[in-house]
A and B are shown apart, each in its own frame.
Chain A
Amino acid sequence: MIVEGRVIKLGDKIDTDVIIPAKHLKSTDSQYLAQHVFEPIDPEFHKKARGAIIVAGKVFGMGSSREQAAIAIKAAGVRAVVAESFARIFYRNAINNGLPAIACPSIASEVKDGDFITVNVETGEVRVGDKVLKGKSISGMALEILKAGGLIEYLRQLQRRQLS
């Protein structure tokens, strides 16, 4: 599974209240959520997100368990998030919603805003220009869930396979 795109660079400790404020959590509609992604720091974020890869520092997605944080980023057209580290809950939510999340300790120091990067989800390798950075690969059930496009789709496929 290979993902590529232009980098939108964010800082350390990006929290879920900044990704999607609580006032939008009464909806799970992905298109509605996409319109409001990163609203507190950049209300126009959704206009530049399509096809991009978010690169960030430490504990991306820290804070609340709101699954809408991962849904909003994915629905805005972001192809992957590569961060030095992730908050545990966000990481699971990302995978469960088909959004690749790659932990790569050197990413923030090696990549700048606007760079074009290629991410190999299965090996964890991130390519920027001539450089190859080593990140944490995704394997096993998490990879199957990602490939299916999320947990619900994965479970449906599982049921279909069991029936046939």
Chain B
Amino acid sequence: MKTLTEKILSRASEKDVSPGDVVEVKVDIVAFHDLTGYHVIEVMEKAGAKRVFKPEGIVIAFDHLVPPPDVRSAEIQQTIRRFARELKLPNFHDVGYGILHQVLVESYVMPGQVVVVADSHASTSGALGAFAQGMGASDVAAAAITGRTWLTVPQPFKIVLEGRPRQWITGKEVSLEILRAFKADYFVGMSIEVFVGEPRAFPMDYRLTVANMGVEMNADALTFVPDEEASRYLEEMRGVRLSSFERPDPGAKYVDEYSLKLDDVDFLVAAPNSVDNVKSARELSDVEVDVVFIGSCTGGRLSDLEIAAKIMKGRRVKTRCIVIPASWRTFKRALELGYVQALVEAGCVVTYGTCGPCIGGHFGVLGPGEVAVSTSNRNFIGRMGSPQSKVYLSGPAVAAATAVLGRIAEPGEVL
């Protein structure tokens, strides 16, 4: 009787693993972006490595410094471009293709794989049933060279999502509900396996957000058990049809189990400066807001843009509002479906896929005393700019309603 985590890691280590074991595993995909990629390459050079384990096993997408806002960023990208060319890496994506985690799920990751990424939001790929972990540049360099890494088999924890979320409630609210219930330190050393009761009621976009936020829960990994919704997504995005998936054995042992009724999940917001400082949007309705950011690997997917567009259509934003689709594909679909037009007409600034303001990089850095509502993942001190700024994390509906009213609001107050 094995959990999904144990099955994936048993295959990858060619051993019968149990939680707590320290094992060496084969990795299927090693990925990095511009801001960590140059560091990975630097470590490889210092280690004297001239090749990677498998050129098609490396995935690179530029997203943090896109397009380069300064000379140093341009140099970083030149270094990685040269590396990709010299090693003939086929899966290299330059400026404009999208945020790495979104690119990975759109085009590369398959259920049951082991994925190692030089970025903590690697956990996103768990939505497709992969075991995905973020690591630092040195670990990722070692994995890129050898095609292997070591890890501790985490303790498995089971979450069951039952029922259907209310209108405009997404994976973001579900993530915040889990963080409210458990706090950010509970899942250290654990892998969360999520079972969805009604697969079509909780679509892949929502799952990607929950998996993305797995690292904010400090889980070692967060993996959705693959089901018909995972099949649908793979077929729609890549034309791939899978007849069967690796799933946990019935009766597999978990350290604990938590059931969440999706129908009861409310519009939630994480107040400064911690992701688990969760309150209902109603409690914060007197918080005045300067800027709203709808984007990132957490909250820049098609469903986020759809919800924001539907709420803002025919209205005007009171705050500054920056909207960033998570990838070129997302942007193109949002254009075709009229979401971009609705957002632009409402007064939003809409741009190409970049991490930008989420990391306080560029394209909307916060000044001292400014207050932001963001669909991204972190509200740590100074995360989006000045240490004197404040960040409230929400889902797309609260973000859009807030942009329209200039204070934290639920969508019902606008519609």
CA distance A25 to B35 in the complex (A): 7
Q: Which residues of B contact A28 (CB under 8 A)?
A: 39, 42
Residue B181 lies at the interface, judged by CB distance under 8 Å to chain A = no
Q: When the two chains form their complex, are residues A59 and B184 in contact, meaning their CB atoms are under 8 A apart?
A: yes
Q: Which stretch in A74-82, A88-96, A106-114, A127-135 binds the other chain? A: A88-96
Q: When the two chains form their complex, are residues A70 and B136 in contact, meaning their CB atoms are under 8 A apart?
A: yes
Q: When the two chains form their complex, are residues A63 and B380 in contact, meaning their CB atoms are under 8 A apart?
A: yes
Residues of chain A in range 99-143 having any CB-CB distance to chain B below 8 Å:
140-141
Residue B76 lies at the interface, judged by CB distance under 8 Å to chain A = yes
The contact string, 1 if C-beta is below 8 Å from chain A, for chain B 251-264, is 00000000000000
**Cβ 8 A contact of B218, one of A62, A96, A150:** A62
CA distance A22 to B35 in the complex (A): 9
Residue B287 lies at the interface, judged by CB distance under 8 Å to chain A = no
Given contacts A26-B35, A152-B43, A152-B47, contact A67 B185 (CB under 8 A): no
CA distance A71 to B382 in the complex (A): 20
Residue B82 lies at the interface, judged by CB distance under 8 Å to chain A = no
**Cβ 8 A contact of B36, one of A40, A65, A88:** A65
Q: Which residues of A contact B65 (CB under 8 A)?
A: 26
Given contacts A22-B360, A59-B185, contact A96 B139 (CB under 8 A): yes
The contact string, 1 if C-beta is below 8 Å from chain B, for chain A 129-164, is 000000000001100000000111001100100000
Q: When the two chains form their complex, are residues A22 and B359 in contact, meaning their CB atoms are under 8 A apart?
A: yes
Chain B interface size, as a band, is 35 or more
CA distance A70 to B383 in the complex (A): 18
How far does the Cβ of B148 sit from chain A's closest Cβ, in whole Å? 13
**Cβ 8 A contact of B72, one of A15, A21, A26, A92:** A26
Residue A64 lies at the interface, judged by CB distance under 8 Å to chain B = yes
Q: When the two chains form their complex, are residues B138 and A67 in contact, meaning their CB atoms are under 8 A apart?
A: yes
CA distance A64 to B72 in the complex (A): 21
Given contacts A12-B185, A28-B39, contact A66 B383 (CB under 8 A): no
The contact string, 1 if C-beta is below 8 Å from chain A, for chain B 148-186, is 001000000000000000000000000000000000110
How far does the Cβ of A95 sit from chain B's closest Cβ, in whole Å? 9
The contact string, 1 if C-beta is below 8 Å from chain B, for chain A 10-33, is 001101011001110110100000
How far does the Cβ of A22 sit from chain B's closest Cβ, in whole Å? 4
CA distance A147 to B151 in the complex (A): 20
Please report B residues at the A interface, Cβ cutoff 8 Å: 22, 35-36, 39, 42-43, 46-48, 65, 72-73, 76, 117-120, 122, 133-139, 142, 150, 184-185, 188-189, 218, 220, 274, 359-361, 378, 380-383, 387
5 shortest interchain CB distances as A-B pairs: A67-B136, A40-B382, A93-B136, A40-B387, A22-B359
Known A17-B380, A59-B184, A88-B188; further 13 A-B contacts with Cβ < 8 A: A18-B381, A18-B382, A21-B382, A26-B72, A59-B185, A65-B134, A67-B39, A67-B136, A67-B137, A87-B218, A151-B138, A151-B139, A159-B48
